[in-house]
């Protein structure tokens, strides 16, 4: 096998690896026309690529907005808002993309670029509770993020319930111990009263 044949094999392997596969179930909707499947799949791939490009640019925008926010912060309250309003930028979009950039700065995870607003808000709101591995798990597949969040929340609730059970058990033991102490102290009081009565009789 010569060098050219090896190169061709490697090239073909690369094409196979990079080949895009749609997750859409064409069979379910009885779409069997190969041309339709091919065009939809190709267009889907294009849309995905555009989405990734836009996500990357959104992250870049967040970085630039954050920088301007820092620059204008020393020029009076409302200056930054006035600035982005002058550009016709939506307030929610501005702070959403700043938040995206801040999350990226914090976690250095490129998947943040493609994360949904809800996902980012969840991470921001719960960053003190979430472990880094959980954040990675949420971000690794944007389509599964909501499901992962539910799983993490469920796990958290179960842990809280376990903690409650442990606390209840500990408190029950303390109460039991307290009752025993009360009985002991009551006996001591009776003894002291008895001695006191004997002393007074003498």
**pLDDT, tens digit, for every residue of 143-170?**
788 888 888 888 766 665 556 667 777 7
In a domain, 189, yes or no: no
pTM of the entire predicted model: 0.58
How far apart are alpha carbons 55 and 119 in whole angstroms?
A: 14
In a domain, 162, yes or no: no
In a domain, 17, yes or no: yes
In a domain, 171, yes or no: no
Decide: helix, strand or coil at residue 128. coil
Residue 78 domain boundaries? 3-140
Backbone torsions φ then ψ of 201, nearest 5 degrees:
-65, -35
Cβ neighbours of residue 85 closer than 8 Å, sequence gap 6 or more: 91
Taking phi over 0 as left and psi of -120 to 50 as alpha, with beta for the rest, 78 belongs to: left
Per-residue pLDDT band at 184 (split at 50, 70, 90) = confident
In a domain, 184, yes or no: no
In a domain, 170, yes or no: no
Residue with tokens 């009776």: 190
Retrieve residue 93's tokens: 């979009």
Q: Are 59 and 113 in contact (CB under 8 A)?
A: yes
pLDDT, one tens digit per residue, over 52-95 is: 899 889 999 999 999 999 999 999 889 999 999 999 999 999 99
In a domain, 198, yes or no: no
| Number of domains the chain is built from | 1
In a domain, 176, yes or no: no
Task: Check whether 15 has a pLDDT greater than 60.
Answer: no
Retrieve residue 19's tokens: 């080949």
């Amino acid at each position: 096998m010569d060098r050219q044949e090896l190169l061709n094999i490697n090239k073909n392997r690369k094409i196979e690896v990079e080949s895009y596969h749609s997750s859409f179930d064409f069979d379910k909707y009885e779409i069997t026309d190969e041309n339709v499947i091919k065009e939809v799949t190709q267009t889907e791939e294009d849309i995905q690529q555009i989405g990734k490009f836009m996500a990357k640019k959104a992250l870049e925008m967040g970085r630039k907005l954050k920088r301007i926010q820092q620059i204008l912060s020393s020029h009076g309250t409302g200056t930054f808002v006035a600035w982005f309003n002058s550009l016709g930028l939506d307030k929610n979009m501005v702070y959403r993309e700043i938040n995206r950039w801040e999350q990226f700065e914090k976690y250095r995870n490129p998947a943040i670029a493609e994360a949904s607003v809800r996902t980012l808000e969840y991470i921001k709101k719960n960053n003190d509770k979430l472990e880094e591995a959980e954040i990675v798990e949420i971000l690794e597949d944007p389509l599964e993020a909501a499901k992962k969040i539910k799983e993490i929340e469920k796990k958290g609730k179960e842990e809280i319930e376990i903690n409650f059970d442990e606390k209840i058990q500990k408190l029950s033991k303390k109460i039991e111990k307290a009752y025993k102490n009360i009985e002991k102290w009551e006996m001591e009081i009776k003894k002291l009263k008895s001695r006191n009565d004997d002393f007074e009789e003498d």
